[in-house]
Structure 1
Amino acid sequence: MKQTHGRVVHIETLTELDRRLDAGARRLASWRVHRLDLTERGGRLLECRVAGAAFLGCTFAPGDDDALSTMGALVLPVVGTTPLDVYRPGLYTADELYDQTPYLRSLDARAYAWAQRVPSRDDALAAALHDHAVSEALDAWVRDRRLVGVMGGHAVQRGDAAYAGAARLGWLLGSEYTVATGGGPGAMEAANLGGRLAGQGEEVLDRALDVLATVPSFRPSIDEWVRTAREAVAGLPARDNLGVPTWHYGHEPPNLFATAVAKYVDNPTREAVLLEVCRSGIVFLPGAAGTVQEVFQDACENYYADETSVAPMVLVGREYWTKTLPAWPLLRSLAHDRAMEDQVHLVDSVEEAAALFVAAG
């Protein structure tokens, strides 16, 4: 990583640490040294000016950590017994979460098992530190992107018309925006797939959907579900898109199509963050209680927003949102005579939904 004036330097490997020290670095105030075994590097570090440097989750020879603290460095130890890196500097990738096979050996599965047990005080602190780190990384990731969210049912299966529709929606939106979802299976996976393949021919999306349809669900085998996902996009360029899942629903694995994954331990934090980052608006596909909750969480934010802060809300499925789960009449009544009134829409197709955003883009 090239150091620039005033910018924090993240040190992620011993090779990078040694390279900088060998090159003559002695003032380490902007350094963030992350989760390294420094038991054999203490002597060199203690020769430097370390006031203002941070050592996050590192391992030291006895006494070195205290010496660095005395010299003005911030030394934060490993907390609890979590498999998660509580000081991680960036968002996850699917490959990080699915780092081992079978799935039960993966980081994602280990983290879910840890998150479901009764937490100790240290584990609760670890979860809070982890989620804070993810939020900071997410803030940086979204800064120069225009995100449109796609919310919908997790139970939609590959091969269904609803799945293909969600994928097409992501594909259409991805031409102008960055697609964001809850990062799970079903409509979320489909929208992330479409967002990932945006800009490529529609035949590319159709081929991917055909491959995925051979394994409709992550039940009974998450490993087969993952395998077909990798096969569906193998060798294809990937456009940036976002998933924001949670280990609270760890029995629903994260999909592999989001290029950046902001995975949280705490579900309420995750839900609030997901709505917050979708500043260009949200499309709501048919879903059950979770999707209805998201509709009215978003509506509450828009209800109190001024004219410059309202984000569009688009509900897809006139029959569904007026009769099956009639959220639309209440939403329209809520929006009446508010700044949000002209920004809530009910449409019949994903093409109509995407057109509202693309036209405004």
Structure 2
Amino acid sequence: MCAMRQTRPERREGPSLRRGHLVPESTYDQRLLDRRGPADWLHMDPWRVMRIQAEFVEGFGQLAELPDAVTVFGSARTKPGSPDYELGVELGRALAEHGYAVITGGGPGCMEAANRGAREAGGVSVGLGIELPFEQRMNDYVDLGVEFRYFFVRKTMFVKYASGFVTLPGGFGTLDELFEALTLVQTGKVTSFPVVLLGTEFWGGMFDWIRSSVLDRGMISETDLDLIQLTDDVDEAVQIIAEADGRRGARLAAERRAVEREAVEREAIERAQVETQ
């Protein structure tokens, strides 16, 4: 029985689980983006829109009442007990002790480590899973897990419900998430949103390349480098997030006061106009 469990293919598709011969040969993302073959996709895409809409609704519904949260990225291939894994556990614990929920991709490696640290510290541990051609199960330290079919829906949830990103060492997926976050901040799509790289030995070479090649060729501005915070200190990473949170809270409070003041002034003007008629 155990041998069958180990060899039998398995895949999650949103809220569903398929095993054995019921596992399809392609994923929803592959079928959405594939324009080869017959033109019947022209008739199927409107229905896909409904499924995408349903994923957004489900994600918003599940995550809307989270406390302030931080999204943690990092490699799924990091082994338990390794320095990067232990760093992830320490980070998850520190974020939870500071009152933040911890959001990860819900998989193994660095994601598991951050979820584990948050869970062991009594915090809220969240995993946002994704359908992949190979099965990647939700790790055991996730308290709230949401499975997605489409990467872009999942990425929206990573940003919408987070006060910032902390990025542990990782591969292509981690780099994709990192640079998408930086692009959103650079273009003003999200504001007061810190992006912290944890691990100077791992990230230092990339940062030097950005400075020496990308900046030197005028492809980014000097101020764009300030969007990236590089550290080895977990407490410093949490402090960067907390300070940005404080600035955002102060800005929102000021904007609220300005709106209220404007409403009072407008009401006074309207009252004066009525009295003079």
Taking structure 1 as the reference length, the TM-score comes to 0.51
Contact persistence 1:115–1:247 (CA under 8 A): no
Change (3 A) 1:353 1:117: same
Partner SS for 2:17: helix
Matches within 5 A, 1:230-245: 238-245=122-129
CA distance in 2, matches of 1:254, 1:354: 25
Are residues 1:131 and 2:13 paired? no
Letter of the aligned partner of 2:183 in structure 1? C
Instruction: Provide the aligned length of Structure 1 versus Structure 2.
Output: 216
Which residue of 1 is the match for residue 257 of structure 2? none
Which residue of 2 is the match for residue 336 of structure 1? 222
Contact persistence 1:149–1:281 (CA under 8 A): yes
Which residue of 1 is the match for residue 117 of structure 2? 194
Are residues 1:296 and 2:179 paired? yes
- List per-residue Cα deviations over 1:167-193 (Å, max 9, x = no partner): 110000111211111111100010011
Letter of the aligned partner of 2:95 in structure 1? L
Are residues 1:312 and 2:155 paired? no
CA distance in 1, matches of 2:71, 2:223: 25
Q: Which structure shows the bigger proportion of residues in helix conformation?
A: 2
Change (3 A) 1:146 1:303: same
- List per-residue Cα deviations over 1:127-154 (Å, max 9, x = no partner): 4364134223134233xx2111111111
Contact persistence 1:303–1:335 (CA under 8 A): no
Q: Per-residue deviation at 1:288?
A: 1.1
- List per-residue Cα deviations over 1:27-83 (Å, max 9, x = no partner): xxxxxxxxxxxxxxxxxxxxxxxxxxxxxxxxxxxxxxxxxxxxxxxxxxxxxxxxx
Which residue of 2 is the match for residue 111 of structure 1? 17
Contact persistence 2:103–2:126 (CA under 8 A): yes
Q: Per-residue deviation at 1:117?
A: 4.2
Contact persistence 1:178–1:240 (CA under 8 A): yes
CA distance in 2, matches of 1:254, 1:116: 20
Partner SS for 1:263: strand
Structure 2: give runs of 5+ residues left out of the alignment. 32-40, 246-277
Letter of the aligned partner of 1:146 in structure 2? D
CA distance in 2, matches of 1:179, 1:249: 26
Which residue of 1 is the match for residue 165 of structure 2? 282
- Match for residue 103 of structure 2 among 154, 174, 180: 180
Letter of the aligned partner of 1:141 in structure 2? E
CA RMSD after TM alignment: 3.5
Contact persistence 2:74–2:167 (CA under 8 A): yes
Q: Per-residue deviation at 1:125?
A: 6.8
Contact persistence 2:9–2:23 (CA under 8 A): no
Which residue of 2 is the match for residue 148 of structure 1? 70
CA distance in 2, matches of 1:310, 1:343: 10
Contact persistence 1:112–1:248 (CA under 8 A): no
Change (3 A) 1:174 1:115: farther
CA distance in 2, matches of 1:257, 1:263: 15
Identity in percent: 25
Are residues 1:167 and 2:89 paired? yes
CA distance in 2, matches of 1:250, 1:137: 27
- Match for residue 79 of structure 2 among 157, 168, 177: 157
Letter of the aligned partner of 1:304 in structure 2? T
CA distance in 1, matches of 2:9, 2:133: 18
Structure 1: give runs of 5+ residues left out of the alignment. 1-100, 199-237
Q: Per-residue deviation at 1:242?
A: 1.2
Stretch moving more, 132-141 or 285-294 = 132-141
